[in-house]
Structure formats: structure tokens, C-alpha cells
Structure 1
Amino acid sequence: MAGGPGAYVFGEEEIREIQEVTDAKYLFRYGSLDNPSFKRKVFTFEEEFKKKMGADYCVATSSGTGSLMCCLSAIGIQPGDEVIVPGYTFIASISSIILMNAIPVLAEINDSLTIDPEDVRKKITDKTKAIMVVHMLGNQCNMDEIMKIAKEHNLYVIEDCCQACGASYKGKRLGTIGNIGAFSLNFFKTISTGDGGAVISNDYDMYERAFGFHDQGHKPNRTGVEVGKRSIVGMNMRMNELTGAVAIAQTRKLDEILTTLRTKKAKLKAMISGLNGFKFRTINDEANECATLLTLIFDTKELADAFCAEVNSKTICHSGWHVYNNMEQILNFDGGKRYHKNMLPQTDDILERAVNISVGVVDGGLGSAFGININSTDEEIEAVGNKIIEVVNKLTK
């Protein structure tokens, strides 16, 4: 089955939370506190999620894309502002910037498959407003360097945590290091409600603006239509009570999910360590990543392609998603910058040689259709490890 680890552990806990809502027959996130049918599932999720992440504030949203747009609104993005974003990311990171009438500036990745701080420095102009880091494939960006650059140039930092829910960097959960963080609860993410998202911040003003953008300009946790109190024009990106119910159960499983994934990845990685022909991607805080994928960076493109042919997979550059070269909507966009294929040669070189092995996220769109999942047994892990050993030894002998 394709999907993220949260989908694999969906069970009685989620069903009980959903049942409370369906029995009450009240699905809207707002309601009167004296109404026994109002179960406050979205509010409860926000409270539990912010506590889990170590943040002061949380807004539940309808998607990761919506979360990113809320973050951009929260920092006061204006038409023509530039936002530096990696060329290897899900399209929503880039399209959210365009939808807010700002300009995405594409930056290179390094062998962590996250944004390269050295290239970020090169892309800063007098129009740069923010850096949108993407903690790609569950791996943390080099946040020490990013925050140093942001401080030097007085820039905002938005953390796209959509693929890294629950990961930490040097003792802090992702999403709490920059100014504001965006999360996705999509079916292929660490925890899942099918679709859904969240925004976290420790800054009340940013929280208030993000909340307003997600709900027609209203102040947080309104009880009615607050005429005269709305300062921004917003959209409808609200989460409903059914989604909130699932989000509660999944959030309570997050730490166990991460522990299980890290254990299984460590077993698989130990089996294939020492083989020739590839290296593992750099993990910026290995003990605290999500461990949803094991990424091999082969010495050559030809070796990577040959490996994929043997295991019925694809290199990341050919996976169809997440790579700027495959985003015709972006390549055809003319909003103050010109975009074209092969404009990020360092990124292209890495992705041509990189192969994702699934550990928790089974997704052909990430190039991770081959591998294991969160429920895989030791025997299944061993079988995948032996297959990798067999193929790599065959190709490098």
C-alpha cells in the first residue's frame, strides 16, 4: 500500500475520535461551549499539537499548501517580495509564493537534499523578504547556517515541515526554529488525516495574522461574526471536526511512529553500510530526523539508473514530483524571474544520482516505491537489505 506511516497505523483510536463527532452530528470547528454536541476536536488538536512541537501557538488548516500561504501572510509578504526556496521540494512550496503575488527565487540543494546555505547567500537581493527552508524527506536543513544568514540580512525564515513532522534539530522541534512553521497532514506524510495541515509559531502577531488568513480575516477562536475586528482579507482554509478528530489520534501516535521508523531505518542502513558505489545523504541531526526514507547517492548517474532498473524504481530526478525541472507550471511562469530546466546544475547532478528507499513513506512520486514500511518485519527488512547488497555488488564488481 502506498502512503505515509500514519496511514499504516490508522486504527481504533482514530475511529473512536471520529465516532464522537458523527454521534454528535456537529462537524464545524466553531461552536458554543455550552453545546454538548460541540466536541472541540480541532481546538483540541491545536492545543495538543502545539504542546507536542514546543510552540506557543497553532492554527489547524485544510492542507500543507494552505499552511504555507498562512505563513507567508503572517510575515507580511507583499507583491514583488522575493522568497528563496529550494528547487527540490513539493510544488506547493513554490506555488504558495506565487499565489501570494511574491517571487520565488530557486536555490540549490546540497548532499543533504535540503537547501544549500552557500547558494542562499548568492541569491539574496534587496528584494529578498524571506528564506523558505524545506526539511525535505524528513531531514533537517542546516538551521544554524540559515538562521545566521537570516540574522545578517534581516530576513524572515519560514520552515516548510510538511515532510518532517516531529523531527528535531539540536533539541528543538522543526517549525520552532525559524519565525513560523508549516505542516501537512496529507496521506503521504508522517501523520495523516488524508488532507489537512497546521501552522505553529511562538510569535502571537504572526499567529493572529496566520489565523486571520485561514479564516476570512477573523481573530483567533471566534464565537461569532466579529464585525469591526477584522484587519486582513483572508480565505477559508479551516479544518473541520472530522479531520480534527483523526489529527488528535495521529498526533498522540507521533512519537511512537518516529521511534519505530528510526529503529527500522538503522537496521536497514547497518546492513548495507560499507558497500561500494554510493554514499548516504548527509543528515544534519541523524538521531532526530523522521527516518521516513533512506537515500542513496550513487557515484555516477549510470550506476544509479542501473540500480533502479534492477529494483523497479527511479532516480529522484525521474520520479515525476518535487523536482523543479518537472514543474511546467513554474517553468512557464513569468513573474519577475525567468525559470528554465537545468538552471540548478548542482541540484540536477545530485538528483540524477540519488535513489530513495522507502522506510515509512511508500510513494512512487518520491521515487520510493521500493523498500520497507513501518509495519515491516525484521525478515522483510533483511530481504530488502539483501536485495540492495546483491544488486550493488553485481553492479560494482
Structure 2
Amino acid sequence: MPGPGFAFMDDAERDNVLEVLAHWHEHRLDFDNPGSTSMVRRFEDAAAARFGVPHCVPVNSGTSALLVALAGLGVGPGDEVIVPGYMFVASIGAVICGGATPVLAEIDESLTLDPADVRERITPRTRAIMPVHMLGAPSDMTALRAIADEHGLALLEDTAQATGGTYRGEPLGTLGAAGAFSLNPFKVVTGLDGGFLLTRDPRLFQRAHSFHDQGWFPHRQETGEGEPVFGLNLRLSDLNAAVALAQLGKLDAVLERTRAVKRDLLARIPERPGMRRRLLHDPEGECGTLAVFVFDSAESAAAVAKRVRCKPLIDSPKHYYGGLPALAAFGRGEPGPFPFRASGTLGDGRDYAKGALPRTDDVLARSVALSTGVSDSYLGAGNGVGPFSTPEDVERVAAEFNAAAAEVLG
């Protein structure tokens, strides 16, 4: 199973899908029907209620959630958005496709944005900071929110990998101006694909909602409060919403299991000289989908990873800024990879190539992850346990990792 939600699939998802197929002709695209009972509308309302915000925009991917958020914020040409060097390519791609310029910042051993480095990257053109809650764990939102407030910047949370996580009791994705979520198969819960945006800001909601649905005002109204915008078709399908709605109802159960399995695994893998656990800004709030170990040297990390059939986190190109050749080309001002950008709006001669963020390079080269819910060999976590692994499974994986660490570290 790629993500833990898959392990919880049962008749609830099937029944919702069959309901869509049985009643598709009654709502279809729901023109002029604010009382819609479509699965998309039901998911929209359920997600807003689950996370305690007034507004949700269901979309067809987590990437689209980021793009509509930027549109809602009015971020575009001439603006800069600070993004960590460890993310998924969508975090950077949405900024570039929206016309703005990504400004890369260092991560620390939490694998999330280093607030001190963020502060150093702010310029008069900075409009937003994008914390990415990588591998199911929250960024340092206290420090980042203080910086954003001090400089009048928007916080756009990329919560794709941390649905249901919290920071000091507050749901991730609700601490800034907006939060973008993914429902693809490798996430905490899934719609088989899709995503959604959460916000408390009615103007941002209207603009984002209009942008995701060809400029219609929310819920396909011809007119409404706010301003008209051109939009795209980034809608979530009713079939994906049907699956996602059932999965949303299981979110607490999914988190309970992934956290319990991770606690069990970590209890069997002690820290040792030369190896420690990843820094967590809120251990109680992380999703528990991956267990990350940070070694003192890249050589040790690579040796242990090879023995347990994983790989260091730096070896996942689309999660690492140095593995994105199109980004380096953007910095050099090459127009080829960017069909919607004029040559004068490309990268400002910025250095996006590997080596631009030496601390990020160092941390990722020294980090190894085991699955405790999300199994993704591309990400680096192709080995580990899942939400319904037995104690014997957990013991086997822990023993293998301990043996590898002992052999490498002594």
C-alpha cells in the first residue's frame, strides 16, 4: 500500500462511488444549485468542518491546490515566494507556473524550513512563505508565523504530506492564509487522486474557487461577492470526492494506527553514537507516516540505507531542488522549459543548481527513512512497516535496521 489510507479501504468508499453512479444525472455540474448534494459539495463541507475553517476548495490535485491558493492571494509576476529546498516539485512548479519566482531556503534537521534562513531571504519582492510539512511532520510554525507577521507576508502551507497533523493543537493547513492538501495515493488519506484548499479568508476563497472553475463564483453562481477572475478547469471529480469523503471519515483511525506503529518501531530502534532521530517541532502533532534517522556522515547514511534496501533522502530528485534540471534552467534564464513565461520573467540569474543550499544538501545526504505508513521507494522509504503490520513484522524491520547501523557505526 503506498499510503496508509489504502489499508482502510472498505465498503464505505465503494458505496459512495456507487451512489455517484446511481445519481450522476441529478446534479452533474450543479449549475445554479447552491443546495447541491453532489459528492464534491459534501466533501467540501465535510473537510471545512473537520479542520475547523469556513472555506474549502476541492480540486483535482495537491498541485492545483497550491496554484489556486497563489491565485487567491494574488501572487504573480514580480513576486517572490520562499520555498524550502526539500519539498515536492509541485511546491516550486506552482510558483513558477503562477508567474512568481521561487526563492529557495535551507532546511534543518527537522527536514523543514529553517526560520533563520527564511529571514535572510526576504526582499521587498517577497509576498509569501511556503512551509512544507515534509514526511508528515509540522514546520516550526511559531517562528515562521512571527516572521510572516513582522513582514506582512502570507503563509501558504503545503500540507500535502501531513493531512490531519497538528501544531500545538491546531490543524496543519489552518495556521496561515491558506493550506494546500493532496489526496493522491501516497498521502495519509486518498481520493485516488485530488486535493483541496482550506482558508478562513472569504476573498481568498472566492478568488481561488473562481480560478479553479473557469471564473464562476463559488458553487457555479454567475454573480457573487468579490471580483471576477479568469480561471481554469481544476475541479475535483465526483468519483474522487466519493472516495475522499469516505476516507476523511477514517482520518482519525488512520492517524491512530500510523502513530502507534511508528512508536512501536522507534521503541525497538535506539539512538546510538553517529545516529539520531529527526528533529520534530511537535512530536504529538506529526502524522507518524515515516521514521527518519539522521546520521553524522553521508557515508554512514548511504551504507545503512543500502543494507536495508532504502536510499538517502537526497537521492529522490523531484523532492530535492538539486535534482530538478528545469529549475536550474529557470535560474539561467532559459525559456525552453517554460511555455507560459516570457524570457524577461525567468530566474533573475539565480543559482538553483545542487550546492546552492549546502546545509540542505548535507542534511538530506545524511538522512534515511523507514516507512511506518507511507511506502514510497522513490521518496527513499521503500522498506518498513504499515498500519496493520504485526509486532513480528515490526521486530523484523527494527532488527534489520539495528544490525545495519551496528555494522556501519560500530
- For the aligned pair, the TM-score class normalised by the smaller chain equals over 0.9
Counterparts of 1:243-262 in structure 2 under 5 Å?
243-262=240-259
Q: Distance in 1 between the 2:108 and 2:29 partners?
A: 41
Residues 217, 224 of structure 2: 8 Å contact kept: no
Matched, 1:120 2:118: yes
Q: Which residue of 1 aligns with 2:347?
A: 336
Q: Distance in 2 between the 1:240 and 1:60 partners?
A: 9
Secondary structure of the 2:318 match is coil
Decide which moves more: 377-386 or 106-115: 377-386
Residues 218, 229 of structure 1: 8 Å contact kept: no
* Closer/same/farther in 2, CA of residues 384 and 241 from structure 1, 3 Å limit: same
Matched, 1:157 2:155: yes
Counterparts of 1:147-226 in structure 2 under 5 Å?
147-222=145-220, 225-226=222-223
Match of 2:279 among 278, 282, 298: 282
Q: Which residue of 2 aligns with 1:263?
A: 260
Counterparts of 1:1-397 in structure 2 under 5 Å?
1=1, 3-26=2-25, 28-30=28-30, 39-222=37-220, 225-226=222-223, 231-333=228-330, 334=333, 335-337=346-348, 338=350, 339-397=352-410
What amino acid is the match of 1:264? V
Q: Distance in 2 between the 1:283 and 1:185 partners?
A: 24
Q: Distance in 1 between the 2:273 and 2:34 partners?
A: 66
Q: Distance in 2 between the 1:161 and 1:320 partners?
A: 20
* Closer/same/farther in 2, CA of residues 124 and 33 from structure 1, 3 Å limit: closer
Task: Report the Cα offset of residue 5 of structure 1.
Answer: 0.8
What amino acid is the match of 1:392? A
Q: TM-score w.r.t. structure 2 length?
A: 0.92
What amino acid is the match of 1:280? R
Secondary structure of the 1:371 match is coil
* Closer/same/farther in 2, CA of residues 32 and 272 from structure 1, 3 Å limit: same
Q: Deviations over 1:90-144 (max 9, x none)?
A: 0000010000110000000011000110100110001101101101111100000
Q: Distance in 2 between the 1:20 and 1:241 partners?
A: 10
Secondary structure of the 1:72 match is helix
Q: What is the root-mean-square deviation of aligned Cα atoms in Å? A: 1.8
Residues 71, 207 of structure 2: 8 Å contact kept: yes
Task: Report the Cα offset of residue 276 of structure 1.
Answer: 3.2
Q: Which residue of 1 aligns with 2:340?
A: none
Secondary structure of the 2:193 match is coil
Q: TM-score w.r.t. structure 1 length?
A: 0.95
Task: Report the Cα offset of residue 227 of structure 1.
Answer: 10
Residues 192, 243 of structure 2: 8 Å contact kept: no
Q: Deviations over 1:146-174 (max 9, x none)?
A: 01001111111100000110100011101
Q: Distance in 2 between the 1:124 and 1:32 partners?
A: 44
Q: Distance in 2 between the 1:171 and 1:229 partners?
A: 32
Q: Distance in 2 between the 1:148 and 1:323 partners?
A: 27
What amino acid is the match of 1:117? P
Q: Deviations over 1:315-345 (max 9, x none)?
A: 0111333001111111111313322221000
Residues 29, 41 of structure 1: 8 Å contact kept: no
Residues 374, 386 of structure 2: 8 Å contact kept: yes
Q: Distance in 2 between the 1:267 and 1:303 partners?
A: 24
Residues 59, 194 of structure 2: 8 Å contact kept: yes
Q: Deviations over 1:212-253 (max 9, x none)?
A: 111111111125x55998611111111111111111100001
* Closer/same/farther in 2, CA of residues 214 and 140 from structure 1, 3 Å limit: same
Q: Distance in 2 between the 1:252 and 1:296 partners?
A: 32
Q: Distance in 2 between the 1:141 and 1:228 partners?
A: 34
Q: Distance in 1 between the 2:33 and 2:101 partners?
A: 43
Q: Deviations over 1:49-102 (max 9, x none)?
A: 111111111010000000000110111113110000001000000010000110
Long gaps (5+) in structure 1: none
